[in-house]
Amino acid sequence: MATDSVGTAQLVDASVELSKMAIGSIGNDQVIDGQIDSSKLNFVPVKSVAGDVNVTRWLGVGPSSSNVARNATLFVQDDAGIQTIQAMSSFSSSPITGSTVLVGVDDGAAVASGDRLGGLQFAGSRSSDHNLGVGASISAMATQTWDATSTGTELRFSTAPNNANTRSLALTIGQDQSATFTGVVNSKRYYVTAFLNVTQNIEQLTDTVVYWNQTLESMNWPSRTDLSRFVAPIGGRYLCTYTVVFGNNPTGARLSWIVVNGKTGTMPRYAYINTQATTDSTTSNSGSAVIRLDQGDYVNVLVYQFSGTTLMIGPMATNRMTFTIDRLSE
């Protein structure tokens, strides 16, 4: 082997001893299933000749001596497609196996409270000259001095708002598993109860949308311009409850259900109720369902009947037709 330098080296399933290798530098290296004892080797960035560096033992970046402070960066860069740093284990899977990405700090002393253990940053180019900016980050911070039985840690999540290039703390997950949001958390309650205080004709064998023409009570709910719809002001899980009252008729079934965004047909139907009329009196259908809605989604109540004639729905005797939608959670 030359005594000054090696231009391009490919080491396959080998362990290289520096005593038999020249003192110098390696240019474009590909290390496969091997180890390099490099106490005397002048390190330069390791580059992949073909695009992949496959190492089945250790891939080291930076000084190897345990008494030398580490400070090195590993770059994975390409100009095509989405680039991924992948760790994959071929060991039999179990609850305690699998690949792990370890990020940490070791300066030869115990970690102290307030020390940063490591983090992840999410960056992107801000211009055509590869000027990178960081838009979000996650940092792990020690919350106590570490020892053999104590490793208290919290996670800090930071984001950059629109029209700004600096990050601010958004969320802290504490060592006690508590969550503290720095920004405003939307804790408002959103609900409305409406009813139909007039009668509405329902033709037989026809899906018919119910109109709820009066608001009984509401909290933080926007004005309803379409009286058949209840539009979610923000995303979340909503509890929807209704009661529909059909007029007197002893024949056929009375159907009712909730739909999202005006969908018709058989699916999906929420809080689907099918009641068979048996006497010449009113028939009431009541149902409820928890439905996940995005902001701007809306719900309707539809009815259908098999009486053989037109029926009315609406307030009958002591029965009232009502609909309530109440936001439960995110």
One digit per residue, pLDDT tens: the chain, 330 residues?
A: 444 444 434 444 444 443 344 333 444 444 433 444 444 344 444 444 444 454 444 455 555 444 444 455 565 555 555 556 667 777 777 776 777 888 888 888 999 999 999 999 999 988 888 888 899 999 999 999 999 999 999 999 999 989 988 898 989 999 988 888 787 666 788 999 999 999 999 999 999 999 999 999 999 999 999 999 999 999 999 999 999 999 999 999 999 999 999 876 667 899 999 999 988 888 999 999 999 999 999 999 999 999 999 999 998 766 789 999 999 987
Interatomic CA distance for residues 27 and 50, integer angstroms: 14
Phi, psi of 284 (to 5 degrees): -110, 135
> What pLDDT sits at residue 278?
83
Residue where the block lists tokens 């053989």: 308
Instruction: Tell me the pLDDT tens digit for each residue of 69-102.
Output: 445 556 555 555 555 666 777 777 777 677 788 8
Q: Is the peptide bond before 315 cis (omega within 30 degrees of 0)?
A: no
Cα–Cα nearest to 209, from 254, 245, 248, 256: 256
271-298 burial, b at 16+ Cβ within 10 Å, e below that, comes to bebebebeeeebbbbebebebebeeebb
Query: 3-state DSSP call for residue 291?
Result: strand
> What pLDDT sits at residue 74?
60
Interatomic CA distance for residues 70 and 83, integer angstroms: 26
Interatomic CA distance for residues 165 and 153, integer angstroms: 27
> What pLDDT sits at residue 183?
72
